[in-house]
Amino acid sequence: MLKVIKNKTLKKVLKISIGFLAGIIFILFVFWFFIIAVPAFHDFSIRQHKKYITLLPEETTKLYQGYITKTEKELQKLNTSYNSLTPNKPYLVINTTKNHFFLYKSKQDLLREGFCSSGSYVQLISNDDRQWVFKTPKGMHTIKSKTRAPVWRKPDWAFIEEGLPVPSATHSSRYEAGVLGDYALSLGDGYLIHGTIYKRFLGMPVTHGCIRLADDDLEKVYNTLSIGSKVYIY
């Protein structure tokens, strides 16, 4: 019986000792945190802030000025390059993403703008495995020739697309008048700037690669551009 009482007393004293020790450790930690750690961190933050503030007036200003000077030089180079590529005479710009055209008299002197139609990017495969992708060629082009009242000479794909047999190269069915409008300007390789009987599709990518314009726009482009005039397509 006495032994049991002694064990209970010992356990009680041990618990009290552990609790007392934990309390002392907690008090020491609080003391360290508020008396040493917090002031040290605050002092470090102030030093870093002061260091940052010191850099702003001089070093940072010089750094930004360097960036500005470099950017201005790059812009000047780009402007020089742009001016060298932009003609001082009429030229045409075609945006195939928005299907929009811009006719310039010279440099940045815009003469006319409006909707157009460009390549559909549709792929056609014939029974004999010939393939066509109807896209408008991007890049810088020149007007190769100009034609009034053009007649369309239908290529093979025009017959294959309609499920018709392909005639000989000189067959009369190859030629169709009235579908290209009143004017046509050739970019070479069979690509034309011409009119359309499908005016409701202007502003959409629906062609086989040529550029289609409304009648009034086509007439203005035809009368403004000459053979050799630049056409920029992107």
Q: Give the pLDDT band of residue 50 (cuts 50, 70, 90).
A: very low
Neighbour count for residue 16 (Cβ, 10 Å): 10
pTM of the model: 0.68
Q: What is the pLDDT of residue 13?
A: 57
Q: pLDDT, tens digit, for every residue of 154-209?
A: 999 999 999 999 999 999 999 999 999 999 999 999 999 999 999 999 999 999 99
DSSP state of 203: T
CA distances (Å), 188 to each of 81, 134, 146, in order? 26, 15, 11
Q: pLDDT, tens digit, for every residue of 98-142?
A: 999 999 999 889 999 999 999 999 999 999 999 999 999 999 999
Q: What is the pLDDT of residue 183?
A: 98
Asked if residue 17 has pLDDT above 70, the reply is no
CA dihedral of residues 115, 84, 229, 223 (deg, nearest 10): 60
Element (H, E) at 79: helix 61-85
Return the CA Rg of the chain. 40
Q: What is the pLDDT of residue 75?
A: 84
Cα 207 to Cα 211: distance, rounded to the nearest angstrom:
7
Asked if residue 4 has pLDDT above 80, the reply is no
Q: pLDDT, tens digit, for every residue of 28-46?
A: 666 655 666 555 555 555 4
